[in-house]
């Protein structure tokens, strides 16, 4: 089995990479210098069985402070490159495609307008791709983590907020390893789930924290 993975240097991406390799799955994981998601996407033509788009950025800004250059960059990395790669990669029949979304694929919060827009759009892309790629038995789904204990989460939240979430989310902060396990199941075992948003948030959305 061969899986193409973006964002393998990130908190979730690195956990996904480690787990797939531990399961003897070949991982093609170009670095950001090898695959510029803001530019033309030259990718391998090797047949692959799975694609996981972990690459993503989050630039905080109020709606009145949105910078067009930042907005476009965020959409290019979070959303547009995912769609482009789905059109460029050489998928074997029966492949699984996963976009890493977010709670902000369906919810939102102050100062997250750019990020929420890009993740909502990604969910729309997943549902459409699921229909269009079904003729080759290719399944396309979104994995939407809640608050995962990564450097990015800690960068965008105060220590007080992190402590609050850890103590008030029913199951606490999710770990990158738990997200990786979900990804492993989908790329290796999913046969019939497509076009879905799989929320992995430890119960966060149940309490609307």
Residue 81 C-alpha from the chain's centroid = 12
For 125, half-sphere exposure in the C-beta direction (CA atoms, 13 angstrom radius) is 25
Measured CA angle at 99 (ends 203, 209), to 5 deg:
25
E strand or H helix at 3: strand 2-6
E strand segments, 120-179: 139-145
**Helix, strand or coil, per DSSP, at residue 47:** coil
Q: Which residues pair with 2 in a beta bridge?
A: 26
Active site residues: 115
For 111, half-sphere exposure in the C-beta direction (CA atoms, 13 angstrom radius) is 6
Whole-number Å distance between alpha carbons of 184 and 119:
22
Whether 101 and 119 have beta carbons less than 8 Å apart is answered as yes
- Cβ-proximal residues to 191 (8 Å cutoff; 6+ apart), any chain: 139
DSSP 174: B
């Amino acid at each position: 089995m061969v899986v193409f993975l973006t964002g393998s240097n990130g908190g979730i991406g690195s956990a996904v990479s480690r787990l797939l390799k531990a399961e003897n799955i070949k991982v093609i994981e170009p670095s950001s210098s090898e695959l510029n998601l803001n530019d033309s996407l030259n990718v391998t033509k090797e047949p692959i069985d799975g694609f996981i788009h972990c690459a993503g950025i989050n630039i905080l800004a109020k709606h009145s402070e949105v910078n067009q250059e930042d907005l476009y960059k965020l959409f290019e990395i979070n959303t547009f490159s995912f769609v482009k790669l789905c059109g460029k990669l050489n998928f074997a029949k029966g492949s699984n495609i996963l976009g890493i979304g977010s709670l902000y694929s369906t919810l939102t919060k102050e100062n997250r307008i750019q990020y929420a827009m890009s993740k909502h759009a990604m969910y729309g892309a997943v549902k459409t791709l699921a229909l269009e790629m079904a003729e080759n038995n290719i399944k396309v789904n979104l994995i939407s983590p809640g608050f995962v204990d990564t450097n990015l989460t800690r960068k965008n939240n105060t220590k007080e907020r992190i402590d609050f979430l850890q103590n008030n989310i029913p199951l606490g902060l999710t770990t990158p390893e738990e997200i990786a396990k979900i990804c492993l199941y989908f790329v290796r075992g999913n046969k019939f789930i497509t076009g879905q948003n799989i929320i992995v948030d430890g119960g966060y959305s149940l309490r609307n924290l």
